[in-house]
Amino acid sequence: APNGVVSGAGTEENPFIIQNWVIDASAANGIEIRNTNMYFIIRNCTISGSASYNGISLYNVDNGKIENNTITGNVRGIALDQSSGNTISRNTISGNSQYSIHIWYSPNNTATGNTVHGNGICGIAVDFSSNTNIINNTIFDNEQYGVNIDSSVGNVFTGNNITGNDVGMFLGFDTSNTLTNNTVSDSERGISIFASANIITGGSVF
């Protein structure tokens, strides 16, 4: 309870629940979880901050769910570092100085059904990560990239609607990623590929 848990035991059947908080993240990360594989859900929280801290930060964490939160005005809305088996779903994340969602050295995660926009660098970034699914997200009006994929292998990007970014999707130093049925529009460059070998099928770029 002193750390914001309102119920649960941390098991798969009865995860810790962190919910319904209004958090000022201007002087520290809004929610920070480190070094655990216990099960938890963060949901229905409103987190706003400054360009110095993250809204939600996971480091060396497995088995988390982050869902239905509103996160604005941080350096990164949701940051995963060396974490796996987490799901980020149905969040609204905007106005961050860098990224809405940043997946860094973190395999086997899923981001689905999120709305991300108005960030200084990128909507969703996947760096040095593998086997991550980025599905059915709405990504728009970011200053540089809608989606940035760097030095990553075997990830799947499906059904995302990406519009109004300088570059819709950028892939650099990547292999074996699959881009399927994404819609990329109103960008200076729709899909930009550098030193990469990937599979792109379906969808539309206009």
What pTM does this model have? 0.96
The pLDDT of 89-106, averaged and rounded, is 98
Predicted confidence at residue 55, as pLDDT, reads 98
Alpha carbon distance 23, 120 (integer Å): 22
**What are 46's two structure tokens?**
């409103």
Alpha carbon distance 16, 171 (integer Å): 36
Q: Which helix (H) or strand (E) holds 24?
A: strand 22-25
Query: How many beta carbons lie within 10 A of that of residue 100, not counting itself?
Result: 33
Predicted confidence at residue 50, as pLDDT, reads 85
CA angle, 49 then 134 then 3, to 5° = 40
Q: For residue range 5-57, what is the model confidence (pLDDT) as tens digits?
A: 999 999 999 999 999 999 999 999 999 999 999 999 999 999 999 889 999 99
